[in-house]
Structure formats: structure tokens, C-alpha cells
A and B are shown apart, each in its own frame.
Chain A
Amino acid sequence: DQQVKQNSPSLSVQEGRISILNCDYTNSMFDYFLWYKKYPAEGPTFLISISSIKDKNEDGRFTVFLNKSAKHLSLHIVPSQPGDSAVYFCAASEDNDMRFGAGTRLTVKP
């Protein structure tokens, strides 16, 4: 069952512009949301997270927005850099049970 969906398999943006990665979920019991970044031949690396009691969390160039009524999560990267090119996974957790989306491949062009 696809409780966490990333409907865009890929995204391409120009260096310096904003990257917006989207994620939708179906389980209203999820209480914690995370974004991971994955480079080839490496495991996913934690990027940023947000609790269900918040609607925004910011860490440097990365901001995660949570819209609980729409069951929608987004990651904003501003400004985008070529080193941000990677696969980004959205994940959601309920009682330590974590579900991942299929990932979005972000390419930032110089």
C-alpha cells in the first residue's frame, strides 16, 4: 500500500533557482515526517524533519512545509546548487513505523 507518494520521479532546475519537491500521504496518523537525500552508492542521509504539530521547519537553504488538511508535504531548496543533485525521499512515521515514498531525482544544472 502506497501510504506515501512522490508523484514526480524527476525534477530539473537551474542553479540558484528554487527546487520544490512534493510528497502526499494518506495515513492521518503519521506524526513525524522526514526528507532524506541519497547519492549513488550511498545510503540515504537525513536532511530535515517536521513534527505533525508544526507546519514549517527551516534549516539553512532547506525548508519543509506540512499541510495536514491536504495531507501534503513539500521540501523547498533555495538557492539550489549542483551538489544538491540527488534522489530525495519523503518519509512518514507512525509509532516508529516509517514509510518511504519512491523518491524524486533532482538535477540542478549549472
Chain B
Amino acid sequence: DAGVTQSPTHLIKTRGQQVTLRCSPKSGHDTVSWYQQALGQGPQFIFQYYEEEERQRGNFPDRFSGHQFPNYSSELNVNALLLGDSALYLCASSYKSVGQLNYNEQFFGPGTRLTVL
């Protein structure tokens, strides 16, 4: 079991461009959450996908959007990139048990380092 995988590992973009980050959850997991971790900060929740729908969203603008596929993998899209979008983007997978997210079983991927110039 490869655990949670993310691609690419590093990415450099310029302001105004668009970016797509990808995440494959751990085997057996059906829920994917995305986090942004700026330098020196803790991860900030962007949104969560379950059953191919966005279920919860943090305080991020509409420039951040996502998708979940039938195989539970997920994409994070960011449009009109700003310098402040430079960060480590973490994907975490888990499974829902009776509608309650089982945080003890939330596994994080290694992240994608996005640099916006």
C-alpha cells in the first residue's frame, strides 16, 4: 500500500496562471481533504470531498476549486495564482464512519510545494 500520494512534488508557476494538483488516497479511504501550509504556519483547511462532492469548505476564495473522481482520487485547482498562494499543499485521506470523519485514521501525503513567481 503506497499510502497517500501526491503529484507533482514541486511546481513553479507565475502570477495569473492556473495550477492543478493531484492526490491519490490510501487504499480503502473514500474522503479527501486538502490543506494549505504556508511557511512557518500550520496546515489550513481548504475543502473536503466525499462521494465526489465538496462537503465542507474552509475560508478560501472561489479561485480554489476541486474535484473527486469515482476512484476517490482528487484534484485541487487554483486559478489566477497570486504570490501568496506559494505554499505546501497537503492532501489527507480518511474514511467516513457513520457520517463522522475518523480523524485518527486521517493520513497525509508528502505534499506539493507550489512556488508562484
Residues in A whose Cβ lies below 8 Å from that of B92: 43
Shortest 7 CB-CB contacts between residues of A and residues of B: A43-B108, A100-B42, A96-B101, A100-B43, A44-B108, A102-B42, A43-B109
A44 to B106, CA, bound (A): 10
Interface string of B22-56 (1 = CB under 8 A from A): 00000000000101000011111100100000001
Residues of B within 8 A of A (CB): 4, 33, 35, 40-45, 48, 56, 58, 90, 92, 100-101, 103-111
Please report the number of residue pairs spanning A and B whose Cβ atoms sit closer than 8 angstroms.
53
Tally of chain A residues near chain B (CB < 8 A): 23
A34 contacts B42, C-beta separation under 8 Å:
no
Interface of A is mostly: strand
Residues of A within 8 A of B (CB): 4, 6, 32, 34, 36, 41-46, 49, 89, 91, 93, 96-103
Residue of B nearest to A49 (CB): B104
Residues in A whose Cβ lies below 8 Å from that of B109: 43
A48 to B4, CA, bound (A): 20
CB distance from B58 to the nearest CB of A (A): 7
CB distance from B55 to the nearest CB of A (A): 8
